[in-house]
Amino acid sequence: MLKKILFLGLALVASVSWASAQIMPSPARAEGKGPYEKLIIRGVTLIDGTGAPPLGPVDIVVEKNRITQIQAVGYPGVPINENRRPKADDKTKVMDLTGHYLMPGLIDMHGHIGGSGQGTPAEYVFKLWMAHGITTVRDPSAGNGLTWVLDHKKKSAANEITAPRILAYTAFGQGAKDPITNAEQAKAWVNENKAKGADGIKFFGAKPEVMEAAISENKRIGLKSAMHHQQLDVARWNVLHSARAGLTTMEHWYGLPEALFTDRTIQNFRLDYNYQNEQHRFAEAGKLWQQAAPPFSEHWNNVMNELLELDFTLDPTLNIYEANRDLMRARTQEWHGVYTLPSLWRFYAPNRQSHASYWFDWTTEEEVLWKDNYRLWMTFVNEYKNRGGRVTAGSDSGFIYQLYGFAYIRELEMLREAGFHPLEVIRAATMHGAEALGLDKDLGTVEVGKLADFVILEENPLQNLKVLYGTGAVRVNDKNEPVRVGGVKYTVKDGIVYDAKQLLKDVRTIVDQHKAREKARITQPGLDW
């Protein structure tokens, strides 16, 4: 049966029936302990998210979901002086986590909550995120419908469900009775969107009059915004136009190379190009950065400097297109066999009618082009960070063989590949994400006065980001045997302590149930093994 075409990457019709895309809602929370009147976490090494180097051992005191004290209690390799430690009484929950590492909860800036075409229950998506330390997500497009997303946002805020906190960014035009064709209609829809309770808007493209009116009005009324500059409109509205109008963040990289053109105004499309043929769309995109001004040239610098002056945020979602440079790697990642739902696996498979399943004849040549594309793209992102620009971490999971939670950790690895120091990677995933969302008073760093929002693990993530994967990292022990280490141990959200490894077990159970019900197994496309 043909898979359902998702609106999420196409966004062509404002009158899409969003209710049809809704997934199974999340059940009532049955996981997590707390919040506690008073919680003391003892003996951890702190990575606070600001870019500061690790500090430990420290004791962290949480009262009613707020950090009230961060106390250095000794020195590495030296017994702790108990007299320096915050005092506990019989009403205090004490967690002795000596030797563990603690950092802020992670923020996924591009977190779709699945769709009916993927067959992903909300519980499955949420637990994969939480198991990887992701405590906040921005849902770009509200693909399950704004009402559905706002309901889950409310339940998450009340900790009635096991889920990250949610920010709902409605796709521009969603719910409109008629296409939005002028500035007045655009402004009216933007204000209606705020009245409905949305946190922001995700744009894809429209004619300049509409884009200018919508983005500027959205900024005027105090909402945030994101944009995937789709190729249907980017020739007349690129990243610079959006940033000047007041856009908060750009997603992926579409629209940025177009702003960097010097010897053309339109991408050098193949002459039989058809946007509805997604191999055309994504294969040609692999040639796009080579058409832009070279790194550190005058125009390249001018564009970057203007974006910096506008306090613009880049959310590159590097991981989501990694299959384009190494399709076999993406298909054979070790977690697919255990944690990927059979319906999601079918959704990933090459198919001419489904968004982001475009490998009709994907060759070595496409992969080589995309590897060079990444090199140029990463150069811009890294230098933007070096000059003080804000770069965040977003996954766009649920497409292109990228699985919720796991894909986000891969995004962190790819920021590292781009040139980020591991501390810069963590800052992008925490403090800079919170700043971009306007949540930095409460989230993004571990500081007195902020919410109890933590990731706790036994291994040092700065030494190896792979220890953040649910499957951990491979190490050879003293007996010359390969063993697994790492994986998040605890995710703390709103002062509630979740056993991250148990959440992963829950996900595995969900997957096993689906496989049994469907008599399905994971096989590679075109193979029966």
Predicted local distance difference test score (pLDDT) of residue 15: 33
Predicted local distance difference test score (pLDDT) of residue 246: 98
Is position 200 within any domain? yes
Average pLDDT rounded to a whole number, residues 463-468? 98
Average pLDDT rounded to a whole number, residues 206-214? 98
Average pLDDT rounded to a whole number, residues 483-490? 98
pLDDT greater than 70 at residue 77: yes
Is position 524 within any domain? no
Average pLDDT rounded to a whole number, residues 226-249? 97
pLDDT greater than 70 at residue 16: no
Average pLDDT rounded to a whole number, residues 495-516? 98
| Structural domain boundaries enclosing 124 | 18-31+104-437
Predicted local distance difference test score (pLDDT) of residue 116: 86
Q: Over the chain, what is the mean pLDDT?
A: 94
Predicted local distance difference test score (pLDDT) of residue 8: 40
Of the ranges 53-62, 92-101, 427-436, 519-528, which one carries the lowest mean pLDDT score?
519-528
Predicted local distance difference test score (pLDDT) of residue 308: 98
307: three-class secondary structure by DSSP: helix
Q: What is the pTM of this model?
A: 0.95
Average pLDDT rounded to a whole number, residues 22-26? 92
pLDDT in tens, 435-448: 999 999 999 999 99
Average pLDDT rounded to a whole number, residues 200-224? 98
Predicted local distance difference test score (pLDDT) of residue 479: 97
Is position 420 within any domain? yes
Is position 361 within any domain? yes
**Phi-psi map region of 77: left, alpha, beta (phi>0 left; psi -120 to 50 alpha):** left
pLDDT in tens, 402-428: 999 999 999 999 999 999 999 999 999
Predicted local distance difference test score (pLDDT) of residue 192: 98
- Quote the longest CA-to-CA distance of the chain: 75
Is position 255 within any domain? yes
Is position 473 within any domain? no
pLDDT greater than 80 at residue 452: yes
CB atoms within 10 A of CB 23: 21
* CA dihedral of 258, 262, 266, 269, whole degrees rounded to 10: -100
Residue 136: closest CA among 199, 201, 216, 67: 199
Tokens of 526: 């075109």
Q: Edge-to-edge, what's the strand order for the sheet holding 390-391?
A: 106-108, 134-141, 165-171, 200-203, 224-227, 249-251, 313-315, 390-391
Predicted local distance difference test score (pLDDT) of residue 137: 98
Average pLDDT rounded to a whole number, residues 52-72? 97
Is position 245 within any domain? yes
Residue 148: closest CA among 61, 278, 25, 38: 25
Structure confidence at residue 22 as a pLDDT band (50, 70, 90) = confident
Three-state SS string over 237-266 comes to CCHHHHHHHCCCEEECCCCHHHHCCCCCCC
Q: Is residue 76 reached through a cis peptide bond, with omega within 30 degrees of 0 on the bond before it?
A: no
Structure confidence at residue 355 as a pLDDT band (50, 70, 90) = confident
pLDDT greater than 60 at residue 7: no
Structure confidence at residue 472 as a pLDDT band (50, 70, 90) = very high
CB atoms within 10 A of CB 14: 17
Quote the number of domains for the chain. 1
CB 69 within 8 A of CB 391: no
Predicted local distance difference test score (pLDDT) of residue 21: 64
CA-to-CA separations, 321 to 144, 204, 330, 346, 349, in angstroms, rounded: 23, 18, 10, 18, 15
What is the spatial distance between Cα 379 and Cα 224, in angstroms, rounded to a whole number? 27
The CATH number linked to 383 is 3.20.20.140
Predicted local distance difference test score (pLDDT) of residue 9: 40
Residue 119: closest CA among 354, 366, 325: 354
Structure confidence at residue 529 as a pLDDT band (50, 70, 90) = confident
Calculate what percentage of the chain has a pLDDT beyond 90: 93
pLDDT in tens, 118-161: 999 999 999 999 999 999 999 999 999 999 999 999 999 999 99
CB atoms within 10 A of CB 475: 14
The secondary element (H helix, E strand) that includes residue 213 is: helix 208-220
What is the spatial distance between Cα 142 and Cα 175, in angstroms, rounded to a whole number? 11
Predicted local distance difference test score (pLDDT) of residue 307: 98
CB 23 within 8 A of CB 114: yes
Contacts 24+ apart (CB under 8 A), 502-509: 502/31, 503/31, 503/127, 503/128, 503/130, 503/131, 503/162, 504/127, 504/128, 504/131, 504/339, 504/470, 506/31, 506/123, 506/127, 507/124, 507/127, 507/128, 507/131, 507/339, 508/338, 508/339
What is the spatial distance between Cα 356 and Cα 200, in angstroms, rounded to a whole number? 25
Is position 50 within any domain? no
